[in-house]
């Protein structure tokens, strides 16, 4: 990256709304977002959003791709990495002892502790499956998501699979399973247990090893909706978008900096978010 390109990128990011847009797209990764969803998520007027998107595009910080009738915007990670490399070029080359402790890149720190998250739903066929796939897709290696049910259906809802595939999420490992697997000896120790349906929230859960933080993120059951295929598909899309929004907020939490009680309050607040 040249000096001129660096200045252009930094100038584009030196504005509150544009910085928020870029950070949101970084969180969403390969999934990206449409302008409408960006506008709703960040409470930015469509006209202002269009201006900011043009500025970020001109600086090479975001890309756009047409998907049917929609435009999908994504963060340009090549540009972001080039900018970070330029800013850290020759860092401390002549003063190796300038820091009292060796400097560890944030990316390394974030990956030292992979946090496990278990999403629970009664049948583990739709909502918890969507949450598992989304967090694994968006978590950037910081999180490992799992899902389970109190009375598992034994199969994943085909509409959930279709929706995930459409949004470029991995589906090969998804399966419907009993939550008892995660309370058994030798099971992965959970850091967070999140219920995504009301029935599971009201049931007596197993005793999870390690005392993970638990919160309720209830989402209306799309599989219970009756009507036309379009109406049912719309219900699945609504559930997907609400879960996606909550996971985005979860990923932006300064988890390592929050005390346990404060983190629990943040998790509970995220569970009340219903807009996308």
Just list the catalytic residues.
121, 197, 205
Query: In sequence order, what are the beta bridge partners of 118?
Result: 146, 193
The span from the CA of 56 to the CA of 10, in Å, is: 10
Burial 187-211 (b: 16+ CB within 10 A, else e): beebbbbbbbbebbbeeebbebeee
Structure tokens at 174: 């998804």
Q: How many residues does the chain have?
A: 276
Q: Does residue 53 contact residue 73 with C-beta atoms inside 8 Å?
A: yes
Q: Does residue 192 contact residue 118 with C-beta atoms inside 8 Å?
A: yes
Q: How many CB atoms lie within 10 A of CB 70?
A: 13
Name which of 172, 127, 134 is nearest 152 in CA terms. Answer: 127
3-class DSSP assignment, residue 195: strand
The span from the CA of 135 to the CA of 52, in Å, is: 28
Q: Which residue's structure tokens are 């946090």?
A: 115
Q: How far is CA 171 from the centre of its chain?
A: 16
């Amino acid at each position: 990256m040249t000096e001129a390109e660096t200045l252009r990128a930094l100038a584009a990011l030196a504005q509150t709304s544009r910085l928020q847009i870029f950070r949101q797209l970084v969180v969403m990764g390969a999934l990206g977002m449409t302008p409408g969803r960006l506008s709703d998520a960040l409470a930015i007027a469509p006209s202002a959003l269009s201006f900011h998107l043009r500025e970020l595009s001109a600086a090479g910080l975001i890309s756009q791709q047409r998907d049917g009738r929609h435009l999908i915007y994504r963060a340009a990670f090549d540009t972001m990495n080039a900018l970070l490399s330029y800013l850290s070029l020759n860092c401390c080359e002549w003063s190796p002892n300038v820091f009292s402790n060796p400097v560890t890149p944030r990316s390394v720190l974030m990956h030292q502790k992979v946090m496990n998250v278990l999403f629970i739903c009664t049948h583990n066929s739709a909502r918890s499956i969507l949450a598992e796939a989304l967090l694994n897709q968006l978590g950037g290696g910081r999180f490992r998501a799992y899902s389970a049910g109190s009375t598992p259906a034994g199969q994943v809802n085909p509409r959930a699979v279709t929706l995930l595939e459409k949004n470029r999420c991995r589906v090969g490992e998804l399966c419907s399973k009993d939550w008892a697997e995660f309370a058994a000896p030798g099971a992965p120790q959970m850091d967070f247990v999140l219920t995504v349906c009301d029935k599971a929230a009201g049931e007596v859960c197993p005793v999870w090893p390690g005392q993970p933080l638990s919160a309720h993120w209830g989402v209306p059951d799309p599989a219970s909706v009756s009507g036309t295929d379009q109406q049912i598909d719309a219900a699945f899309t609504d559930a997907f978008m609400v879960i996606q929004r909550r996971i985005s907020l979860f990923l932006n939490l300064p988890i390592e900096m929050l005390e346990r009680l404060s983190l629990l309050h943040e998790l509970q607040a995220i569970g009340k978010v219903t807009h996308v």
